Chain A
Amino acid sequence: MSKTAINQPGAIRFKSRKRWTRDDTELTLLGLPSAIWYFVFSYLPMFGLIIAFKNYKIVPGKGFLYSLFHSDWAGFSNFTFFLKSNTFSLLLRNTLVYNLVFIILGIVFPVSLAILISQLYSKKASKVYQTLMFFPYFMSWVVVSYFVYAFLNPDKGLANNVLSALGLDTVRWYSEPKYWPFILTFMQVWKSLGYSMVVYLASITGIDESWYEAAMLDGATKWQQARYIILPTLKPIIVMMFILNVGHIFYSDFGLFYQVTQGIPNSLTNVASTFDTYIYMALQSNVSIGKTAAAGLFQSVACCVTVLAANYIVSKVDEENAII
């Protein structure tokens, strides 16, 4: 009886619009710790960006907030300083080009490998391959930097051992910028390949076997099955990954660029610095925090614009697959 009463439209409106129930209080309390966390660690930093518009100076003996509010306003001078500096165009180029390459390779390789591995006869072997290829995903970039160091150490590393065994000149890897775009790209692909492949494979294995059978009866080749059955199935995930990655195109994986190059030696600055490494290194040095924050704010705003734009374009082309 009472259930039907609740289910009437009038009752619902009464319940959801007018009265604050005990239920609402309890749910609010349950969500309160998370809300506080979001306020402190997500929203407070957004207001903290105010520092980008300040000439922040520490007032001796006073707290951070006092110093912040008593610093002079800098207007947009921190931004113009950053945008006009020589490093800006370098950072922009590196961040965007690396990310574009990563996005493309991060879709092409895992998707094709997922299709290929789903064709293996032995499911057991396939599982073993997946587990082994998953391994790098669980390594931190610090550990990966040790792997790379073992290969590229100029005196003892495997790469130079092999080169000298072949009678070729050895290479001072950590001071030769020309190799690093390839090394960094390789490491990025190496680390994420297994994981992304298994994600795509999960939806390939979800495809109903009878679709293939029907396609086969109609004489579809393997290639056609991949093109007309598997790829359309994967499309929503590919699109989602694409939007997420394009949305982060102004962000870079700090660990990759900073750790794998051993903290970006001077000789590699041109090929390995991105917005994140620049901001991190500025934070550690004595560049004014206002200027550093300006670089950070530029990055956040650019990211926000790109993620909304990417989603907008996808929603125009294909409404179903937009995520917002």
Chain B
Amino acid sequence: MTAENGKKKAFRLNAVKPVTNAWLSVLFGLLSFMCIFPFFYVFMISVSSEQSIRQSGYAIWPSEFSGAAYRFLWNEHDTILHSLLISVLVTVIGTVLGVLLTTSLGYVLSRSGFRLKGLFTWMTFIPMIFSGGMVANYVVVANLLGLSNTIWALILPLSLSSFNAIICKTFFKTTIPDSLIESAKIDGATQLVIFSRIVIPISKPVFATIALFLTFGYWNDWFQSSLYISDSSLISLQALLNNMMKNLDYIANNPSAGLSLQQYRNSMPSESVRMAIAVVIIIPIACAYPFFQKYFISGLTVGAVKG
């Protein structure tokens, strides 16, 4: 207790002046505000009535509130829920597959006695400095493997990355004692058993980190969809959001477009609906990330360790 007090006192002595502290609080308060204000603003637009949007544009505090956008989304819940299902499916399958691939590779790379270690290390390293790029990937995934308009086009290309594999390798190398592996081997365990029964249970932090990287990556992905998916039954939430923006613009820019579309558009609170979908996508992430953010940092700092 006294030691802690002493430490605190020393810290106080070295601290900035109270005025500086106040200015810093203001600065970071402003920056924090700037970072979350857009979300608040978009939410406010989503609960504005069409009438108030027509009158005063997107207001920070609308003159009239309305749940019409969310009611509209609820009426369209088949589409929304289907997209949600695709998003969840891609995220879950992708994360499980990705974690298995990444960690098994990381483990193999971390075994110093392994004969093919050099080969595997180069295999992981080369893609970090040279890649085929967007066109070549597209050609392989769409033309060669024929994965266009399948769920695998959304999952497979993103499941492994050299960066994540190296994070795992560094983690295993620094936290799992060789003697543990050796003694398990003497007991007759195969490497697969060692990996699944010993390595996985004691390496939960790195599994959590990789799983979170992948979860957010898959949940936020719209790019794979825009390249490979044209089938409307495979549209994820992000892709839906992406298409919403384009479709409404398309109608707005072409007044001569089909009347039925125009009528459909009139029936929906178009401005607020767009923002309501954005809110629906943001909410799960906004609720989840404060609990997971530390893993993102630990992952990066572990990966930064050389070797």
Which of A's residues lie within 8 Å of B, judged by CB?
2-3, 15-16, 20-21, 23-24, 26-31, 33-35, 37-38, 40-46, 48-49, 51-52, 64-65, 113, 116-117, 119-121, 125-126, 128-136, 138-143, 145-147, 149-151, 153, 155-158, 160-161, 190, 193-195, 198-199, 202-203, 209, 212-213, 216, 222, 236-237, 240, 247, 254-255, 259, 262-263, 276, 279-280, 283, 289, 292-293, 295-297, 299-301, 303-304, 307-308, 323
The answer to whether A158 and B60 have CB atoms under 8 Å apart is: yes
For the complex, give the distance between the alpha carbons of A28 and B58 in Å: 59
Choose one: A216, A296, A301; the contact of B136 (CB below 8 Å).
A296
For the complex, give the distance between the alpha carbons of A149 and B248 in Å: 13
Contacts of B208 in A (CB 8 A): none
**Known A140-B221, A255-B223; contact A247-B132, beta-carbon cutoff 8 A:** no
For the complex, give the distance between the alpha carbons of A134 and B32 in Å: 9
For the complex, give the distance between the alpha carbons of A157 and B275 in Å: 13
CB-defined A-B contacts under 8 Å, sample of 6? A46-B130, A121-B15, A133-B32, A142-B245, A147-B42, A157-B58
For the complex, give the distance between the alpha carbons of A132 and B249 in Å: 32
The answer to whether B297 and A202 have CB atoms under 8 Å apart is: yes
Contacts of A202 in B (CB 8 A): 297, 301
The answer to whether B304 and A237 have CB atoms under 8 Å apart is: yes
Contacts of A20 in B (CB 8 A): 115
For the complex, give the distance between the alpha carbons of A194 and B71 in Å: 35
The answer to whether A33 and B42 have CB atoms under 8 Å apart is: no
For the complex, give the distance between the alpha carbons of A283 and B58 in Å: 36
The answer to whether B222 and A140 have CB atoms under 8 Å apart is: yes
Contacts of B115 in A (CB 8 A): 16, 20-21, 24
- Chain B contact surface mostly: helix
Choose one: A29, A65, A209, A280; the contact of B134 (CB below 8 Å).
A280
Contacts of A149 in B (CB 8 A): 245
Choose one: A29, A48, A150; the contact of B275 (CB below 8 Å).
A150
For the complex, give the distance between the alpha carbons of A64 and B20 in Å: 66
The answer to whether B35 and A132 have CB atoms under 8 Å apart is: yes
- Chain A contact surface mostly: helix
A-B contacts besides A126-B28, A143-B282, A209-B10, 7 pairs, CB < 8 Å: A23-B113, A26-B191, A46-B130, A120-B21, A132-B32, A138-B220, A212-B14
Contacts of B28 in A (CB 8 A): 113, 116-117, 120, 125-126, 129, 133
Contacts of A147 in B (CB 8 A): 38-39, 41-42
The answer to whether B127 and A38 have CB atoms under 8 Å apart is: yes
The answer to whether A34 and B165 have CB atoms under 8 Å apart is: yes
For the complex, give the distance between the alpha carbons of A119 and B114 in Å: 47
Least distance between B68 CB and chain A CB atoms (Å): 16
The answer to whether B114 and A24 have CB atoms under 8 Å apart is: yes
Which of B45, B102, B120, B135 gathers the greatest number of chain A CB atoms within 10 Å?
A: B135
Contacts of B133 in A (CB 8 A): 45, 49, 279, 296-297, 299-300
Least distance between B247 CB and chain A CB atoms (Å): 12
Question: Which one of B77-85, B88-96, B261-269, B283-291 contacts A?
Answer: B283-291
Choose one: A48, A161, A216; the contact of B132 (CB below 8 Å).
A48
Which of B's residues lie within 8 Å of A, judged by CB?
7, 10-11, 13-16, 20-21, 24-25, 27-29, 31-36, 38-39, 41-42, 45, 53, 56-60, 100-102, 104-105, 107-109, 111, 113-116, 120, 123-124, 126-127, 129-141, 143-145, 156-157, 159-160, 165, 182, 185-186, 190-192, 195, 216, 220-223, 227, 238, 241-242, 245-246, 249, 271, 274-275, 278, 281-282, 285-286, 289-290, 293, 296-297, 300-301, 304, 306
**Known A27-B114, A129-B31, A143-B282; contact A35-B123, beta-carbon cutoff 8 A:** yes
Least distance between B53 CB and chain A CB atoms (Å): 6
For the complex, give the distance between the alpha carbons of A113 and B28 in Å: 9
Contacts of B58 in A (CB 8 A): 150, 153, 156-158, 161
**Known A23-B191, A120-B24; contact A193-B57, beta-carbon cutoff 8 A:** no
**Known A120-B21, A120-B28, A147-B42; contact A27-B111, beta-carbon cutoff 8 A:** yes
**Known A129-B29, A138-B220, A142-B222; contact A27-B282, beta-carbon cutoff 8 A:** no
Least distance between B31 CB and chain A CB atoms (Å): 6
**Known A35-B123, A202-B301; contact A119-B24, beta-carbon cutoff 8 A:** yes
